Structure 1
Amino acid sequence: MPQTPELAESAPPAQHHRLESPVHHASTHDDWWRRSVIYQVYPRSFRDTTGNGVGDLPGITLELPKIASLGVDALWLSPFFASPQRDAGYDVSDYCAVDPLFGTLGDFDDLVAEANRLGVKILVDIVPNHCSNEHLLFARALAQGPGSAAREMFIFRDGRGERGDLPPNNWQSHFGGSAWTRVTEADGSPGQYYLHLFDSSQPDFNWDNPAVGDEFEHILRFWLDRGAGGFRVDVAHALVKDAALPDWGGTPDGSPSPGFPFSDAPMFGRPGVHDVFRRWRGICEEYDGERVLCAEANVHPIEAMADWVRSDEMHQSFNFPFLHTGWDAQALKGIITRSLNAFDAVGAPSTWVLSNHDVARHATRFGTVAPATRPGDGLGPEDPQPDLELGLARARAATLFMLGLPGGAYLYQGEELGLGDHTELPHPLRQDPTYARTNGERLGRDGCRVPLPWTPGNPTLGFSDAGEAWIPQPATWQHLTREAQELDPDSTLWMYRNALGLRRARNLGLGDLSWLVDTGTPEVLGFANGGLLVIMNLGNAQFTLPEGTVLQASSATAVDATGRLLNPDSTVWLLPA
């Protein structure tokens, strides 16, 4: 249960609404991507129209008016390309084809047409670090052997040791195990190793080879010509590796660890990657309609992330340090200030995000009051289960706080319904390769990828008329369907829609930011944007609000009956008197 507010007498006296010096000034540019709200669609879990239990492109087109009604500017589609689906489509076998699982190129064209009608852009998730081992280019590399032009499209190396039995270096896969797999050559002999930072079915491209860049220019133009509004770029920091491929003593994902800063990781953040994206920016600028690039650049510190969004590179980059900060007022203030300073220095917007398909949803993270009993990317049935009510209250508060910030914002499908993870998913149903490659040591990301609930009653809650889904939904979602929330003005769905409407009407995405001077308690965080005060209470006691009118609250119980006290785990947007 949420923590019970202390007696009103414990609330600090109302503070004058004094502001610190601005840490960010209002934008002088009105580019749509500087203020955008972009909604991530995970196609296999959005809406199934064919009865095979997997979401598809026609399902997105069918329900697009409902998403557009939230007030979003664009949809980012996770991969829908032809793929063996060993990593949910991030193992691409043909970048210029739609996987029959999701539909056809004609279905994509229909989606773009409907999006244009609704004033929404479609962003394609491009995967340039690696492809599927079933891609024609990799098949040629295997067939033509060492030293061939085909093999130079990927990172092949001879093994170490007397017979080449040892991998070329000690790099580890993100999904567990070695990042190298040895091939059998055409003559049947043990051969070279190829690099795969992820699953062994996902060989890494060799971006030191200009032919790889030419291949991806063709791919980008293919989708831009079909009306794509731009691209979310998967693992943007990993394309270029240190050519010497040295051993690495740090963590496999390049995260900083004692003695091993991210800047030294040989597999990530190499300077040559920026040349790739300068070329891509130039390609996008040849097209009308402000086509954009957003980097999934997991780099440290936040100041280094600004290198990805210089004026001739990406338009946006996900703010992972913000996502991972947690429920901590002073840590949030610190990372927001650093982010704004870093991105302002290169003339780019900060871009905020709380959930996506690779992390536990924030309604689950904020409701997890005890550490997991086993490592992994999500919670399992053996782990202490999250407090659903506490998690939802904090998730709504965090979202409303985020939507008040200047810059862009990303939403993950279903968060507008208050969805958390499926934390009791039976292990035999897991499909994430992380689970298999670590022999269950890590649970993987399936829990945050569960199909959406649309209507109550149906066995799949309206996701599929077939009555089954590729992975089951938790029983607790019965009351969280979109249909049920449409009828409830106190629902999470209504909070999102109202907040996004106010955000657009008051132009908060292009606004400024000044922190409130000492609120009297370190657990309360507030800032002003465009004359609006945004105040979040992360503590256990009620907080006395400044005089003013509450325009938006994170819940019906965010403010007490007097209208003056902000309850714990709550956020308000206040227009000062």
Structure 2
Amino acid sequence: MAWADSVIWWHCYPLGFVDAEREEIDHVEHRLWRLANYLDYLVELGANGLLLAPVFASRTHGYDTLDHYRVDPRLGDEADFADLVAKAGQRGVRMLLDGVFNHVSAEHEIVRRALAGGPGSAAGAWIRWVGEYPRGFEGNLDLVELDLGHPPVQDYVVDVMNHWLDRGADGWRLDAAYSAGPDAWRPIIDRVRAAHPDAWILAEVIHGDYVDFVERSCVDSVTEYELWKATWSSLNDHNLHELAWTLSRHAQFASRFRPLNFIGNHDTTRIATKLTDPRQLPLAHALLMLLPGVPAIYAGDEQGFTGEKTDGPTGDDAVRPPFPEGPDRLAGFGRPVHDLDQHLIHLRRSHPWLAWAGLSVGTVTSEAIAINLDGGHERLTLALNAGDAPVDLAGARGPVHLEPHSWMLA
């Protein structure tokens, strides 16, 4: 997908962003305009994609869908969505929607019909069962799994995906795509591509064989959780050998598809909190922006937001906070991180081949690493020093001198 090679996503969790109610409401609150208020901020940062967590009618947090064809009333209505799409399009901003198709709310009409008919009925075949009981996603009984291998369910998912692509979305993130597996997704993806060949489709895959999933499902990308983990873990442990090993795998992935690179999302502790030494934060952001793949900035990370994900009913609140009505009201303390990301994005825009660059690891120690990036006509080295002493590393175009806790693209 040619346009995806130049996209940089700003990933937002809308229900938290607009400070919506925790549970469904029976009237419409028009709040999507608050997201539209940040489009110029997104562009000024250098991003050109808006990756949205769920925006469809749900029972509580968005991942317990009640109606895939209706905008969540806590956010607005379809006119509000159309306005957001139009304003994004005017600024050249792509939009990716979050498709929660693996499971739905236990109160969804599909589940109600299935329960009324029972496991052996036509309606019952839409969902997965454990004996006589609906199967809850990862043990959550309020999230009932759909049977994505069942043709009528596939028809339904294809129709929903095309419905919103027809209305201006540029692609989909497939939530929990790993659960049903790549073979269940392939017939769905093939049919959506037939109608929308330019749609970019991202699968949430946490672990496993990423290349195999992409090739069997025919999605464009998967979430690069291996690189996410190695980024903060290697910096915290002063063990960049872990990062080097992960980068060898990332190089294999990037030679076959464009992985979605991230250092934070709506399901993870903020990177500024995850790192035990704040001096390492610029190094993590440099890895996000300058490695091959497609970068996604979790909204607020570019401002140095902090927040820890915990267990329990309110465990996501700290990483899904409300934002002020406009970016001019953001606290000024985050400006240094913002300016860093703006600079990093400028570097990436100046070298667009970084999206598909060949990658190899040069010199690596516990606290320093040279990552060689090959664009064919041009070669660069991303060098990191996570230690307290200056280091000199061999780069693609000559020696690279690094001060403590610094990075360089040379």
Identity among equivalent pairs (%): 27
- State yes or no: 1:143 paired with 2:54: no
Structure 2 counterpart of 1:527: 371
1:114 and 1:336 mapped to 2: Cα distance? Answer: 38
Instruction: Map residues 55-74 of structure 1 onto 2, 5 A cutoff.
Output: 56-74=31-49
Q: What value does the CA root-mean-square deviation take over the aligned residues?
A: 2.9
2:33 and 2:20 mapped to 1: Cα distance? Answer: 7
SS of residue in 2 equivalent to 1:310: helix
SS of residue in 1 equivalent to 2:159: helix
Structure 2 counterpart of 1:397: 283
Structure 2 counterpart of 1:206: 147
Q: Is the 8 A contact 2:34 2:325 kept in 1?
A: no
Structure 1 counterpart of 2:79: 106
The alpha-carbon distance between structure 1 residues 354 and 234, as it changes in their structure 2 partners (threshold 3 A), is same
Instruction: Give, in angstroms, the shift of residue 357 of structure 1.
Output: 0.7
- Report the AA paired with residue 131 of structure 1: V
**The one of 298, 306, 311 aligned to 1:412:** 298
Structure 2 counterpart of 1:115: 88
Instruction: Give, in angstroms, the shift of residue 414 of structure 1.
Output: 0.5
**The one of 327, 337, 355 aligned to 1:510:** 355
Which structure: larger Rg? 1
2:392 and 2:175 mapped to 1: Cα distance? Answer: 44
Q: Is the 8 A contact 1:82 1:98 kept in 2?
A: yes
Instruction: Map residues 60-459 of structure 1 onto 2, 5 A cutoff.
Output: 60-85=35-60, 88-158=61-131, 192-198=132-138, 199-239=140-180, 269=181, 273-287=182-196, 290-300=198-208, 304-310=209-215, 313-325=218-230, 326=233, 327=235, 328-344=239-255, 347-367=256-276, 390-391=277-278, 393-421=279-307, 434-436=311-313, 444-452=315-323
Instruction: Map residues 422-571 of structure 1 onto 2, 5 A cutoff.
Output: 434-436=311-313, 444-452=315-323, 462=329, 478-480=331-333, 485=335, 491-515=336-360, 517-518=362-363, 521-529=365-373, 530-544=378-392, 566-571=402-407
- Report the AA paired with residue 105 of structure 1: E
Instruction: Give, in angstroms, the shift of residue 222 of structure 1.
Output: 0.8
- Report the AA paired with residue 45 of structure 1: G
Structure 2 counterpart of 1:176: none
The alpha-carbon distance between structure 1 residues 56 and 274, as it changes in their structure 2 partners (threshold 3 A), is farther
Q: Which structure has more helix as a fraction of its residues?
A: 2
Q: Is the 8 A contact 1:408 1:509 kept in 2?
A: no
SS of residue in 1 equivalent to 2:144: coil
The alpha-carbon distance between structure 1 residues 542 and 277, as it changes in their structure 2 partners (threshold 3 A), is same
The alpha-carbon distance between structure 1 residues 547 and 74, as it changes in their structure 2 partners (threshold 3 A), is closer
Instruction: Give, in angstroms, the shift of residue 570 of structure 1.
Output: 2.1
SS of residue in 2 equivalent to 1:115: helix
The alpha-carbon distance between structure 1 residues 217 and 543, as it changes in their structure 2 partners (threshold 3 A), is same
Q: Which structure has more strand as a fraction of its residues?
A: 2
Unaligned 5+ residue runs, structure 1? Answer: 1-29, 159-191, 240-268, 368-389, 424-431, 437-442, 464-477, 486-490, 550-563
Instruction: Give, in angstroms, the shift of residue 76 of structure 1.
Output: 1.0
Unaligned 5+ residue runs, structure 2? Answer: none
Q: Deviations over 1:223-256 (max 9, x none)?
A: 11101101000000112xxxxxxxxxxxxxxxxx
Instruction: Give, in angstroms, the shift of residue 49 of structure 1.
Output: 10
Instruction: Give, in angstroms, the shift of residue 58 of structure 1.
Output: 1.4
